[in-house]
Amino acid sequence: MKTKVYFTVDTENSMGGAWSDATLRPVPSERRIHCRIDGVDHGIGWICQELVKRNFTATFFSEVFASQVFGEEDSRRWMGYLKDQGQDVQLHTHLNFHYYAQQLAQGTPVARRTDDLARLDETARRRTLAEACDIFERLLGARPRVYRAGNWACSRELLSDLRQEGIVLDSSCNHVVKGKGSFDHTDLQVNVLQKVDGIFELPVTLAQQTLPEPHLRDGLRPLDPTSMSSWELRSALEQAQKAGMEHVVLVFHCFSFVKSRDAQYRSLKADKVVMNRFTALLDHLVANNDRFEVATLGELADALASDGMGARNPTCIPQLGFARPLARKLVQIANRLT
């Protein structure tokens, strides 16, 4: 059995310090989503180029409320680009843009409430989710089938709302931030596709290291080329495949392959270390296509909607040890200084 590998890309603008500094504005798509350096795209354009070169597709979780700040045509342009590239475009939300747009419209300060949809009361949560789905449909011409919450902040109640909107699959569960908003009061399994109250949940895949780091919970770390070395990524995939895992979810952002010197993304530099990790991983998957299949969460949602979920497949938490994470940490420190 092949292990299906899902590249998921959180694709979003940035507030860029605009809440705390009235002289600033949120960061536009040119700098944060396309990440253009001297006119060359190092964001979604570069990611798509590398994927298409190998006949791969990814799921781009696209934040929609920024369209209320920059205009729907701006979001329609880059979401349409992803669709034209054959990529899977699904729903992502950050409410900061929603509230900031209200402030711009009113011309008076609006209290910054929460960036997390799951933290709203039931009525506001359902209304805001429905608005997000409507915006998504206007921008892309279809309703979303998959969702990822901003900041991984999701709950059982929000899952129920997603199901009411026709969303089949959620991928917001991240045990690293459990207790900080990601299914705090719901016991979900690590690295397992599961069904919760009529909707499917596929967590981001986590590996475990013995090197202690203060921000990690139980040494768990998401599979992400910005925070794992090429060896760690390959090792995690190999362990998952050997254990018989059917689904592996990797995560990164549209801006993962650049280094920015300021919150406004005015001065960008290509992050060659992270770019090389990503392309090396893609090449590893090409070379081992007898054991791995790159797929999208949209495809999985369609399969689950028609066939449901069969027998639960084995899972594991890949182990990274101490030495390799330490070596990667040293490389990252050096990379930040250049």
pLDDT at 260: 96
Closest by Cα among 61, 137, 141 to 94: 61
Residue pLDDT, tens place only, 96-110: 999 999 999 988 877
3-state secondary structure (DSSP) of residue 121 = coil
pLDDT at 312: 62
Per the CB < 8 A criterion, the answer to whether 16 and 27 are in contact is yes
Per the CB < 8 A criterion, the answer to whether 203 and 188 are in contact is yes
CATH number of the domain that 204 lies in? Answer: 3.20.20.370
Domain that holds residue 160: 3-336
Positive or negative, the CA dihedral 130, 136, 138, 142 is negative
> What does each C-alpha distance from 207 to 191, 228, 280 come to in angstroms?
9, 10, 19
Whether the predicted pLDDT of 311 surpasses 60:
no
pTM recorded for the entire structure: 0.97
Share of the chain above pLDDT 90, in %: 92
Residues 6 or more apart whose Cβ sits within 8 Å of residue 5: 237, 248, 250, 285, 292, 293, 294, 295
Which residues face 124 on adjacent strands? none
Tally of structural domains, the chain: 1
Structure tokens at 12: 């979003």
Structure tokens at 147: 């969702």
